[in-house]
Amino acid sequence: MKVVPGSATTPVAGIAPAAEIRTPTASTTTSTSTLQSAVLQPAVAALRELPDIDHAKVSALKTALERGELPFDPAKLAALIERYHRSSR
């Protein structure tokens, strides 16, 4: 088949012409967003009230580490860090 500029096009069976392709309208997107917003609003509000860092828990973990109550293996930590950085390349 030879394609020549300006020649008539023949529609391909099973493919809609560009004029018939429908895209979601703003009202569809807005109604979905509104629904999700209403459903998720209590969870979003609860998350906003939480602090970024639980300072009490961090303090308790530091104390446990200092007392030797929390096991810590620096070699294992180093291996995990190395594995993480090697896998992202």
34 falls within a domain: yes
**Predicted confidence (pLDDT) at residue 55 exceeds the cutoff of 90:** yes
Q: What whole-number distance in Å separates Cα of residue 16 and Cα of residue 68? A: 69
Q: What whole-number distance in Å separates Cα of residue 67 and Cα of residue 69? A: 5
pTM > 0.75: no
- The domain in which residue 44 lies consists of 25-87
4 falls within a domain: no
Q: How many domains does the chain have?
A: 1
Contact 84, 77 (CB under 8 A): no
Pairwise pLDDT comparison (77 vs 5), residue with the higher score: 77
pLDDT score for 60: 95
